[in-house]
């Protein structure tokens, strides 16, 4: 299968690879997908008290399109507010990377990863203000 130039570019030079401390209260972690399906994305967002995404990191187990989708997602969300990041649609990723139909699920996973990371951050914040119990998402990591 032929990959688009943009997919190859992200695959060869992935942006923002790495991890933040998942226990840092300013970090939201999203872990989506499943090894048995051949795709797992971990996306982490470092979010300021004002709700601005200051930094993002990812690690992905998956094909080149999955790696490119998550790499692109980290680039896009940096500097966005939480609400803006929630607005990112998988179709925008498909368009930017010229993903073929068979790879659309990679973009869906990237969108899910952003939403999951934000949900984790919000749950952490809520927990901080109420009970000390940790949400499921982070204990899984």
Contact 53, 47 (CB under 8 A): yes
Region binding another protein by CB under 8 A among candidate stretches 59-67, 72-80, 88-96, 118-126: 59-67
Whether residue 56 contacts residue 43, with contact meaning beta carbons closer than 8 Å, is answered with yes
30 binds another protein (CB under 8 A): no
Residue 20 as a binder of another protein (CB under 8 A): the answer is no
What are the Cα distances from residue 120, in Å, to 19, 36, 115, 140? 15, 24, 9, 12
Residue 32-51 contact track with another protein, rule CB under 8 A, x = bound: xxxxxxxxxxx---------
Whether 106 is a known active-site residue: answer yes
State in angstroms the smallest separation of the CB of 24 from another protein.
16
Which x/- pattern, by CB under 8 A, does the window 67-86 give for another protein? Answer: x-------------------
Residue 14 or 55: the one with the smaller Cβ distance to another protein is 14
CA distance 101 to 124: 36
**How many residues does this entry show for the chain?**
141
């Amino acid at each position: 299968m032929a990959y688009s130039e943009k997919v190859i570019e992200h695959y060869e030079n992935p942006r923002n690879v790495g991890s933040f401390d998942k226990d840092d209260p300013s970090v939201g972690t999203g872990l989506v997908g499943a090894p048995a399906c051949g795709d797992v994305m971990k996306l982490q967002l470092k979010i300021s008290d004002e709700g601005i995404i200051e930094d993002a990191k990812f690690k992905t187990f998956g094909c080149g399109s999955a790696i490119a989708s998550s790499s692109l997602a980290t680039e896009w969300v940096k500097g966005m507010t939480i609400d803006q990041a929630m607005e990112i649609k998988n179709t925008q990723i498909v368009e930017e990377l010229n993903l073929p139909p068979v790879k659309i699920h990679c973009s869906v996973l990237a969108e899910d990863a952003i939403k999951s990371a934000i949900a984790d951050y919000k749950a952490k914040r809520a927990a901080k203000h109420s009970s000390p119990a940790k949400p499921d998402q982070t204990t899984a990591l």
